[in-house]
Structures are given as C-alpha cells and as structure tokens.
C-alpha cells in the first residue's frame, strides 16, 4: 500500500479540499500518513494570498525531500493555478495540477512515477467551472464544509478570481446530505466556507438558489448542534439572514464580515460593493437583535492612495463600531491585479505601522467584548487538544474558554457561567450543571 502525506497552506477552503483529496486517495487504497512518516507521495496544497507563496512552497518541498528523499511531490492549489511553470521548475517537484485538475489527481498521475521533468496539468481557469464538494475531517469537534467556490467580484487587490474561477455552488440538497454525513460521524459543529459564501446559489452561471435558503435548510439538520458562517460580504448579509440567525438555535451569534477600509474613497478604489455606511448599518442591525453577537472584521491597511487621513478615518470608524475583533492585513501587491498600478503607493514602514495600530485596537476590542460577557451563561463546545493539563472550547458567541482537562468533556457542550479572564486573556468559567440538549 502506497503512503501519502499532505501539507496545506492558506484558508479554510484549502483545508477542506485537502481533506477531500485525502479521502479520494484512501478510497483508492492509499494510506494517509503524517508528513514525517516517509510517505511515497506528498501533496502540497498552496495558497496565492499568502505572502512569499513561492518561498514557502520551496521550503516545504525541501522539507519533504528531507523526510522522504524518493517521494513523488505534487503541488496543487491556488498558487499552482497561477504559476504552474515557475512551480514546475522548483527542484524536487514532480507534478503541478491546476484548479480544474486537483480532484482528479489520482487518475491523472496514476502510477506516480517520476519523469525527467515535472509534469504540469493546469488548464486555463475558465475550465474550473464545476463544483467539487469538500469538507474537512480529522478534528472531531468541527468541520469546514465548502458550499461555494470562486468569485465574480473584481476587487482591485485580489487574485482569487484568477486562481479559483467564477462563482459556483453546491446544491442545497447536496449540502444538507453532506451535513447529515458529518453529523453521523459525531462532529458537532460545521463552519460553512466558500470564497464568497454569501454569493451561494449560482449553478452553471445561473442563480438557482440563495444563501438564505441554504441557511434555512441546514437549520433543520438533526445532529449538528452548531453552524457558523465563515465570512460573508456586508452587501450580501441581508436583514433576513440576520433575523433568522437571531432566532435560530443552531446558527451561532457570530459573523465575520470583511470591511477592508473605513474610508469610502479607498473602498471605491478597492472596487468593493458597499460604502462604510452600509457596513455600520449591518453592525447596528446585528447588535439590535443579538447584543451578545461576536462580529469579526477583515481590514487591509496601506492600500495605494491611503493617506494618513484616510487611515485615521478607518481607525476612528472601527474604534466607534461595536465589533469584537479585527483581522488586519498590510496591503501586499499581487500580480495581474489593478491596485499595484494605482497612484499613492504607501511605504512598507507605514503599512506595518498602521497594521500595528489596528492590531492594538483589535486587542482592546476583544478584551472589551470578553469583559462584557463575564457573569453571563453560555454553552461551550470543548475540543480535543490538551495543553498543560488544560482544554479549550468556544462559546456560541466565539469567546475562547479554558478549563481543567477532563476527557469526558471532549466534543461535548457544557453549560457554563463565564467568570474572569486569565493572564493570557482566555476566559475562565464555572459549570452550571445544567444539561443542554441542543446547544
């Protein structure tokens, strides 16, 4: 039996796809092993958003060669789609597969025999127009379920549409079937993932279903206690979705909504499809119905044309907004996008300084959000990891709770009262000894 090992760079979508490719290998008689277990084949799933994608890819190839010098090394993923030729020239790489080919990897490479030169199978991105159902397994507690792929938007900083193609989705009936399968395996939480998740519903270029319909259908799936929406564009986060989540027992009070900039001038240059007023309105709507809801925000700083004034506009906007944490990214140039040719390049030093300022703000926001929840009761879904005799889990509204390790608690939801923050900023809690059936 041939052994195969995987390495994933990038987002949740990549993790769910690596997992699915892993299952395809297993169904075909391969044994899935750890990276260091001398596998016969390596599959490295790359990302184009990661800085230094090329450097990282080279490093992992080198590591792979160190652990298993004769292994067949295959590169897939967004970076493989964008730069197949460059990757094929990395010493040690045996095959490169693009977005349309990655799920056919076992059929295409068949014998995994090394050739003189790396084999490249990367069709133009327009050929990546089918949807491949994927979900991650491994962690018993939560699964990332891919419901949508690709993006039809054209944000001026983003290469994802070039690496993943047009927006396309699974059908609601398929997603429900996957959720039921996941429930049968004992997993309690599903994170709905996609490139532009809220755009769910396009099949072969036609809008046949909607994200709201998907949310309603999944809410009825027995056996899954918790659903989270990984990220949703503010313009697609409609009132009906917020209202439904506020009433649902299964959809968690937690949204991650990319803002990218708090300056309307910069939002326009970024080609985003909303202005800051719409974002503020979405946050107000969420908070009016779910005051305890956690809201995460993505922000990019140092976009071309962002003056110090524009940045301060973003800073002040976020400072006043009732959000819980920020994911901050200093702007980074990507080939084949519009932004690098725009005027007003911001120095790397200023990009990093602005990012640091927002990261400090994020810490303050998070602490404030955590403190607001002290004394309140929630349920926590405890995870499998044990560190220094302690285990951790999330509340419904995404507060990280730490507790003394108890094997009985793993993958169980427990009703707790949040008590205080520990030195590392994690929440401590006391059990309220009340069995909670649904969440």
Site pattern 229..258 for ligand SF4 (x: CB under 6 A): ----x-------------------------
Residue 195 interacts with ligand SF4 (CB under 6 A)? yes
Instruction: Please report how close the Cβ of residue 327 comes to ligand SF4 at its closest, in angstroms.
Output: 13
48/413 with CB nearer ligand SF4: 48
Q: Which of 21, 41, 97, 160 binds ligand SF4 (CB under 6 A)?
A: 160
Instruction: Please report how close the Cβ of residue 259 comes to ligand SF4 at its closest, in angstroms.
Output: 12
Residue 5 interacts with ligand SF4 (CB under 6 A)? no
- The residue count for binding ligand SF4 (CB under 6 A) is 9
Q: Which of 87, 158, 218, 242 binds ligand SF4 (CB under 6 A)?
A: 158
Q: Do 399 and 372 form a contact (C-beta atoms < 8 A)? A: no
Alpha carbon 357 to chain centroid distance?
A: 24
- Helix, strand, coil percentages in the chain from 3-state DSSP, rounded to 5: 35, 25, 40
Residue 156 interacts with ligand SF4 (CB under 6 A)? no
Taking the CA atoms of 169, 225, 16 and 26 in sequence, report the sign of the dihedral they define: negative
98/161 with CB nearer ligand SF4: 161
Instruction: Please report how close the Cβ of residue 300 comes to ligand SF4 at its closest, in angstroms.
Output: 9
The radius of gyration of the chain from alpha carbons, rounded to an integer in Å, stands at 22
147/391 with CB nearer ligand SF4: 147
Residue 259 interacts with ligand SF4 (CB under 6 A)? no
| Contact partners, residue 171, CB within 8 Å, separation at least 6 | 203, 208, 209
- Strand segments, DSSP code E, in 237-324 are 254-260, 294-301
Distance from C-alpha of 287 to C-alpha of 18, rounded to nearest angstrom: 36
3-class DSSP state for residue 366? Answer: helix
Q: Which of 10, 77, 161, 198 binds ligand SF4 (CB under 6 A)?
A: 161
State the residue for tokens 């599959």.
43
161/304 with CB nearer ligand SF4: 161
Site for ligand SF4 in 40-69 (CB under 6 A): none
Q: Pairing state of beta strands 377-382 and 31-32?
A: unpaired
Distance from C-alpha of 185 to C-alpha of 401, rounded to nearest angstrom: 25
Q: How many residues does the chain have?
A: 439
What's the half-sphere exposure (Cβ side, CA atoms, 13 Å) at 384? 7
Residue 138, phi-psi category: left (phi > 0), alpha (psi -120 to 50), beta (remainder) = left
Q: Do 419 and 430 form a contact (C-beta atoms < 8 A)? A: yes
195/286 with CB nearer ligand SF4: 195
Among residues 263, 293, 294, the alpha carbon closest in space to that of 279 is found at 263
> Among the candidate windows 32-40, 150-158, 169-177, 204-212, which touches ligand SF4 by CB under 6 A?
150-158
Distance from C-alpha of 209 to C-alpha of 220, rounded to nearest angstrom: 17
Instruction: Please report how close the Cβ of residue 49 comes to ligand SF4 at its closest, in angstroms.
Output: 9
Q: Do 294 and 397 form a contact (C-beta atoms < 8 A)? A: yes
Instruction: Please report how close the Cβ of residue 271 comes to ligand SF4 at its closest, in angstroms.
Output: 8
Q: Which of 196, 230, 261, 379 binds ligand SF4 (CB under 6 A)?
A: 196
153/244 with CB nearer ligand SF4: 153
> Among the candidate windows 29-37, 152-160, 274-282, 367-375, which touches ligand SF4 by CB under 6 A?
152-160
Residue 125 interacts with ligand SF4 (CB under 6 A)? no
Interface with ligand SF4 by CB under 6 A: which residues?
151, 153, 155, 158, 160-161, 195-196, 233
């Amino acid at each position: 039996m041939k052994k195969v090992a995987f390495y994933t760079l990038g987002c949740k979508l990549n993790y769910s796809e690596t997992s699915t490719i892993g299952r395809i290998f297993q169904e075909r008689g391969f044994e899935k092993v750890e990276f260091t277990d001398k596998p016969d084949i390596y599959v490295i799933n790359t990302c184009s958003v990661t800085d230094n994608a090329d450097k990282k890819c080279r490093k992992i190839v080198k590591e792979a060669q160190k652990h298993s010098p004769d292994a067949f090394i295959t590169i897939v993923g967004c970076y493989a789609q964008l730069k197949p030729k460059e990757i094929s020239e990395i010493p040690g790489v045996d095959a490169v597969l693009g977005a349309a080919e990655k799920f056919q990897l076992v059929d295409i490479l068949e014998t995994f025999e090394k050739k003189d030169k790396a084999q490249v199978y990367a069709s133009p991105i327009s050929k990546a127009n089918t949807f491949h159902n994927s979900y991650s397994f491994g962690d018993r507690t939560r699964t990332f379920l891919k419901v949508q792929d690709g993006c039809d938007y054209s944000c001026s900083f983003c290469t994802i549409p070039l690496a993943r193609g047009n927006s396309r989705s699974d059908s609601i009936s398929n997603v429900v079937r996957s959720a039921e399968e996941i429930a049968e395996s004992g997993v309690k939480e599903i994170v709905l993932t996609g490139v532009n998740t809220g755009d769910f519903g396009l099949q072969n270029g036609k809008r046949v279903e909607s994200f709201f319909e998907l949310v309603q259908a999944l809410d009825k799936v027995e056996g899954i206690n918790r659903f989270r929406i990984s990220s949703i564009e503010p313009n697609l986060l409609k009132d009906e979705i917020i209202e439904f989540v506020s009433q649902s027992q299964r959809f968690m009070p937690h949204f991650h909504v990319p803002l990218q900039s708090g300056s309307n001038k910069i939002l326009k240059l970024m080609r985003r499809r909303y202005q800051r007023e719409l974002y503020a309105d979405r946050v107000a709507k969420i908070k009016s119905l779910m005051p305890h809801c956690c809201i995460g925000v993505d922000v990019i700083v140092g976009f071309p044309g962002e003056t110090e004034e524009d940045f301060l506009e973003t800073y002040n906007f976020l400072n006043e907004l009732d959000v819980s944490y920020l994911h901050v990214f200093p702007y980074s140039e990507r080939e084949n996008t519009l932004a690098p040719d725009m005027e007003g390049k911001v120095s790397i030093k200023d990009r990093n300084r602005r990012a640091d300022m927002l990261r400090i703000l994020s810490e303050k926001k998070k602490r404030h959000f955590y403190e607001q929840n002290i004394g309140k009761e929630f349920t926590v879904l405890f995870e499998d990891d044990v560190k220094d005799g302690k285990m951790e889990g999330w509340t419904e509204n995404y507060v990280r709770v730490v507790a003394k390790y108890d094997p009985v608690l793993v993958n169980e939801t427990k009703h707790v009262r949040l008590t205080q923050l520990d030195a590392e900023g994690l929440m401590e809690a006391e059990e309220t000894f009340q069995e909670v059936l649904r969440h």
